Amino acid sequence: MTQRSFTDLGVAEPLLRALRTENYVNPTPIQDQAIPQLLAGKDLLGIAQTGTGKTAAFALPILQHLSAGQRSENRIPSENRNNGGREERGGRNRRRSTSRVLPRALILAPTRELAIQIEESFRTYGRHVPLRHTVILGGVSQHSQVRALSNGVDILVATPGRLLDLKEQGHVRLNQISHLILDEADLMLDMGFLRDVRKIMAALPEKRQTMLFSATMPSDVARLAGEILNDPVRVEVSPRTITVDQVEQRVFFTDTPNKRSLLSHLLQDADMSRVIVFLRTKRGASRLAEQLEREGFSTEAIHGNKTQSARQSALTNFRNGRARLLIATDVAARGIDISGVTHVVNYELPNIPESYVHRVGRTARAGAEGIAISFCDATERTFLRNIERITKRPITVVENHPHQSTTASRGQARPSPSGRRSAPKRQDASRPSRPSRRRPASGGTAPKQQTSPDGPTSNGAKPKYQGSEGQTAPGGVAPSAPRTRRKRKPRNRVSAA
């Protein structure tokens, strides 16, 4: 089959010039299938491996639609804006009657890094079209973002939290949105963003073009996506084996205390020149970064506890080669797009198998080759099995390394499927309980009061039963109904014998 070009897909000439500048010759599979459908105005559910060009697949049609549309409908008078409704007086400093452009395209991204990269892509592809765009996200001051919105934008890239904040403050209006994109939709809808997305959807016009893109799409999230898409076209270019084919995957069985030593041993290989190391927790990422830095490895860390400026600085140092290692959590896995990553190390296996796909997708970008290394201890065997089940591929086991663990390789000490320890075994109710050996408060020696189910006590007296209403059962013998054992202060008693 002949490879189609961007011209064959119907991309306009101003966009083609920008693509030629970036040396984009042939569209990727997701672009080849999605761009014609989106140019036709259809809703779309796009599923593709990470790093295969999803951003260009929706950015090019949006830029083409908006640049060809009329902008007059989206302008509102701003001569009385921010002046409390008062008219401007004449004079030298009188502001001109201008108009503000309301956003017509909204792109929601789950992470700040991903939002920044999407906005950069729009800037790259739309350099020859007269459209304005900006990005709004948390972790930084909102003043520059409010100023950009007041100047007017056509394309708005945002994270859900900051967008809702600015909307409630009245700085952004969404009633002119004609194109909505949810990128990394499984994370957006399935991991805490559902409520924010629903609030944003309620503020949008019903008539719009909606697109969802993601590397994975579980069935329950797909059903939810069906609620916000209108007769969507499903474009799925991922094979049944959903990990990137160019990634060589290896697993090292080792004990948890030996993971750092194993990583230091592997880093002696000069071929590991640009490495991303993933952990599950922010605290663990910071601690590992400090330890590796003390060992002489140039290291940066990126996670949710870092400020936005610190995160961007870490990415810049890693992208420019000033840092060899980037320690990251799963949140950052959805937003890192850096070419030349040679290795991805899963220092801790993710408990969500789909996260493994996004982690290893940071290497082998745009058809390049890469290596994914995973450390697995005895408690992570269940995570490894789940990953192999979803990827439909066994991971190559590396043996005879300095920190090999036979316990982990044999799968001992596996956690329960729920990830929690099993409850202790309940004692048989028919067995007598162990007698109390606690000394009485008066200091004397209390006689033994071990009671059999039907017999007398060791001192010959019948055991008394105190009912719920303070009554003693007939004969002083407890009935066969459920017994309520009450703790009472022991007393010194003299045997009746």
**205, 275: one domain:** no
Neighbours of 430 (CB within 10 A): 6
Is the Cα torsion angle 292, 295, 299, 300 positive or negative in sign?
Answer: positive
In a domain, 494, yes or no: no
Domain termination residue (choose one: 410, 426, 457)? 410
- pLDDT at residue 433 is higher than 70: no
> Listing from the earlier edge strand, what are the strands of the sheet with 133-136?
133-136, 155-158, 105-108, 179-183, 209-214, 44-47, 233-236
Residues 276 and 367 in one domain: yes
pLDDT at 212 over 50: yes
Whether the per-residue pLDDT at 172 is higher than 70: the answer is yes
Q: Are residues 192 and 315 in the same domain?
A: no
- How much is the pLDDT for 236? 85
How far from 92 is each of 89, 95, 284, 427, CA to CA, in Å?
A: 10, 9, 60, 90
Beta carbons of 254 and 375 less than 8 angstroms apart: yes
Residues 240, 389 contacting (CB under 8 angstroms): no
Q: Helix (H, G, I), strand (E, B), or coil: what is residue 306?
A: coil
Q: Are residues 143 and 269 in the same domain?
A: no
Residue 114's nearest CA partner among 174, 166, 51, 177 is 51
Of 116, 99, 112, 8, whose CA–CA distance to 55 is shortest? 116
User: Which residue type sits at 323?
Assistant: A
Is residue 463 over pLDDT 70?
A: no
Instruction: Output 40 or 368, whichever has higher pLDDT.
Output: 40
- Better pLDDT: 73 or 194: 194
- pLDDT greater at residue 419 or residue 101: 101
Listed range (168-177, 186-195, 269-278, 385-394) with the worst mean pLDDT: 186-195
124 and 53 belong to one structural domain = yes
Residue 29: both structure tokens together: 């599979």
| pLDDT at 451 exceeding the cut of 50 | no
Beta pairing, strands 75-77 & 99-101: antiparallel
Domain membership flag for residue 364: yes
Looking up residue 64, the CATH number of its domain turns out to be 3.40.50.300
Residue 396 has pLDDT above 60, yes or no: yes
273 in a structural domain:
yes
What separation in angstroms does the CA of 154 have from each of 44, 129, 158, 174, 181?
Answer: 21, 11, 13, 11, 14
Identify the sign of the CA torsion 134, 140, 141, 142: positive
Is residue 37 a contact partner of residue 59, using CB atoms and an 8 Å limit?
Answer: no
**Whole-number Å distance between alpha carbons of 181 and 36:** 16
Average pLDDT over residues 115-135: 94
256 and 288, same domain (yes or no): yes
Res. 97 pLDDT band, cuts 50 70 90 = very low
Q: Structurally, how many domains does the chain consist of?
A: 2
Residue 327 pLDDT > 90: yes
C-alpha distances out from residue 441 to 219, 435, 438, 475, Å: 64, 17, 9, 30
**Structural domain containing residue 158:** 13-70+98-236
List Cβ neighbours of 277 (8 Å cut-off, separation of 6 or more). Answer: 263, 288, 325, 326, 327, 328, 344, 345, 347
Task: Calculate mean pLDDT across residues 290-295.
Answer: 95
Find the mean pLDDT for residues 220-243: 74
**Residues for the chain: how many in total?**
497
Please tell me which residue, 188 or 38, carries the higher pLDDT value. Answer: 38
Residue 462 lies in a domain: no
Judge if 254 and 195 occupy the same domain.
no
Last residue of a domain, one of 198, 214, 236: 236
| Residue 253 dihedral angles phi and psi, to the nearest 5° | -85, 120
Nearest to 343 by CA among 375, 304, 382: 375
Clarify whether residues 114 and 260 are in a common domain: no
**Residue 17 pLDDT greater than 90, yes or no:** yes
Among 86-90, 263-267, 387-391, 466-470, top mean pLDDT goes to 263-267
256 and 177, same structural domain? Answer: no
* Residue 22 maps to a domain: yes
Q: Is the pLDDT assigned to residue 359 strictly greater than 70?
A: yes
Give the per-residue pLDDT at 99.
52
Mean pLDDT, all residues of the chain: 78
Residue 205 is assigned to a structural domain of this protein: yes
pLDDT, position 21: 93
- Band the pLDDT of 301: cuts 50, 70, 90: very high
Looking at residue 408, its pLDDT comes to 73
What average pLDDT does the segment 282-304 reach?
93
What is the average per-residue pLDDT within 128-157? Answer: 93
Q: Which of 160-164, 172-176, 241-245 has the lowest mean pLDDT?
A: 241-245
Mean pLDDT confidence for 382-400: 90
Cβ pair 282, 256 in contact under 8 A: no
- pLDDT value at 475 more than 50: no
Regarding whether 33 and 141 lie in a shared domain, the answer is yes
pLDDT band at 295 (very low <50, low <70, confident <90, very high): very high
Asked if 177 and 289 sit in the same domain, the reply is: no
End residue of a domain, out of 375, 410, 445: 410
DSSP, residue by residue, 440-489:
PTTSS-PPP----SSS--TTSPPPP-B-TTSPBPGGG---SSPP------
304 shares a domain with 223? no
* pLDDT surpassing 70 at residue 101: yes
More confident residue, 338 or 262: 262
Asked, for residue 86, whether it belongs to a domain, the answer is: no
| 241 located within any domain | no
Name which residue leads in pLDDT, 254 or 441: 254
**In the structure, what pLDDT confidence band is assigned to residue 1 with cuts at 50, 70 and 90?**
low
- Per the model's pLDDT, the better-predicted residue between 286 and 225 turns out to be 286
